[in-house]
């Protein structure tokens, strides 16, 4: 086979994958960008080029801004807590205690359960009057409270569910990283008179840093991709208190059928996620500096 033939054969082998990738990933992305500069086609009126109108609408759209702010609060509420919990659980589970395998499985369960089922279970916890939370607070004589139905507490409730789900998932990464640390480091530190806290602070946490960066980026992406719990538990309510970006896009696109505006909103989300992904790449480049 000549060199040219080899190249042609190579491209032919790539073609099916490239075709599907272009069809289902690249073309929709480009189409979304184009759509975001057009009006929504309605009935017999086709889409017309409207320039940045959709983006102008966005700037004046209070629900959009509330979704952004909700999403930021959601990220701030879930990420640090779930990472801290993940580290704590991993440290605990990594110690040689009896029933360790069982514990690991228990922590990982939230991640493998279907999200719809999980959301429904939590829905029951939060149910007014006879939900689990109500029954517990009722024991202490607290007045009844509609946790998911009150704008003040609804977002917090959703945050708790997300933490519960994410922490176990992140723990797996930390557990893997902890098992990479040779036990002789702990022994050397102990001999040198380092307390357990000092060892954790000076040795373990720095060695977990690459994992933390990786987990952090994933956590940010997850926070902005969150939609399923919202759909099952609150549908963005009450009064848009739990409307997150992706959920708002879903509502605009598939309930109000304002596809052009949804496309513009999607572009915002794509830019946010793209920036996070870029940060991840830049970081991964430099990650190997001490290994």
- Kindly list the residues in this chain that would bind another protein in the complex (CB under 8 A): 182, 184-185, 187-195, 198, 202-203, 206-207, 209, 290-291
Other C-beta atoms within 10 Å of 220: how many?
A: 20
Name which of 152 and 187 has its Cβ closer to another protein.
Answer: 187
Report the nearest approach of another protein to the CB of residue 179 (Å): 15
Q: Half-sphere exposure of 255 toward its Cβ, with a 13 Å CA cutoff?
A: 9
Residues 6+ positions from 37 with CB-CB distance below 8 Å = 49, 50, 51, 52, 54
Q: Are 233 and 123 in contact (CB under 8 A)?
A: yes
Report the nearest approach of another protein to the CB of residue 84 (Å): 21
Report the nearest approach of another protein to the CB of residue 56 (Å): 50
Q: Nearest-CA neighbor of 35 among 53, 47, 21?
A: 47
Q: Are 261 and 38 in contact (CB under 8 A)?
A: no
Report the nearest approach of another protein to the CB of residue 284 (Å): 17
Where residue 46 falls (left for φ over 0; alpha for ψ -120 to 50; beta otherwise) is beta
Name which of 69 and 195 has its Cβ closer to another protein.
Answer: 195
Name which of 281 and 290 has its Cβ closer to another protein.
Answer: 290
Please tell me whether residue 237 adopts helix, strand or coil conformation.
coil
Report the nearest approach of another protein to the CB of residue 94 (Å): 18
Other C-beta atoms within 10 Å of 130: how many?
A: 9
Name which of 5 and 184 has its Cβ closer to another protein.
Answer: 184
The rounded distance, in Å, linking the Cα atoms of 160 and 162 is: 5
Q: Are 221 and 273 in contact (CB under 8 A)?
A: yes
Name which of 189 and 223 has its Cβ closer to another protein.
Answer: 189
Length of the chain: 291
C-alpha 167, offset from chain centre: 11
Alpha helix positions (H), the chain: 3-21, 27-35, 53-59, 62-94, 100-112, 115-126, 132-139, 151-180, 183-191, 196-199, 205-225, 228-233, 245-254, 259-286
Name which of 76 and 188 has its Cβ closer to another protein.
Answer: 188
Report the nearest approach of another protein to the CB of residue 180 (Å): 10
Name which of 156 and 203 has its Cβ closer to another protein.
Answer: 203
Report the nearest approach of another protein to the CB of residue 161 (Å): 35
Report the nearest approach of another protein to the CB of residue 291 (Å): 6
Name which of 178 and 263 has its Cβ closer to another protein.
Answer: 178
| Pair of tokens at residue 245 | 């970006």
């Amino acid at each position: 086979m000549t060199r040219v033939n080899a190249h042609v054969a190579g491209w032919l082998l790539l073609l099916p994958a490239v075709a599907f990738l272009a069809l289902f990933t690249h073309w929709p992305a480009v189409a979304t960008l184009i759509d975001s500069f057009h009006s929504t086609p309605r009935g017999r009126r086709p889409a017309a080029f409207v320039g940045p109108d959709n983006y102008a609408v966005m700037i004046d759209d209070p629900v959009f801004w509330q979704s952004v702010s909700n999403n930021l609060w959601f990220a701030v509420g879930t990420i640090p807590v779930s990472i801290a919990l993940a580290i704590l659980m991993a440290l605990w589970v990594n110690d040689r205690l009896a029933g360790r395998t069982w514990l690991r499985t228990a922590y990982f369960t939230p991640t493998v359960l279907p999200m719809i089922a999980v959301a429904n279970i939590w829905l029951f916890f939060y149910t007014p009057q006879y939900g689990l939370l109500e029954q517990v607070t009722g024991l202490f004589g607290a007045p009844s409270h509609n946790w998911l139905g009150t704008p003040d507490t609804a977002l917090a409730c959703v945050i708790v569910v997300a933490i519960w789900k994410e922490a176990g998932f992140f723990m797996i990464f930390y557990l893997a990283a902890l098992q990479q640390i040779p036990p002789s480091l702990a022994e050397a530190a102990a001999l040198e008179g380092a307390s357990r806290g000092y060892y954790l602070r000076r040795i373990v946490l720095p060695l977990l840093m690459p994992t933390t960066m990786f987990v952090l980026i994933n956590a940010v992406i997850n926070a902005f991709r969150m939609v399923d719990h919202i759909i099952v538990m609150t549908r963005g309510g009450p009064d848009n208190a739990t409307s997150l970006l992706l959920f708002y896009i879903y509502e605009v696109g598939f309930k109000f059928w304002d596809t052009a505006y949804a496309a513009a909103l999607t572009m915002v989300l794509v830019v946010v996620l793209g920036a996070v992904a870029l940060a991840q790449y830049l970081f991964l480049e430099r990650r190997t500096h001490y290994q």
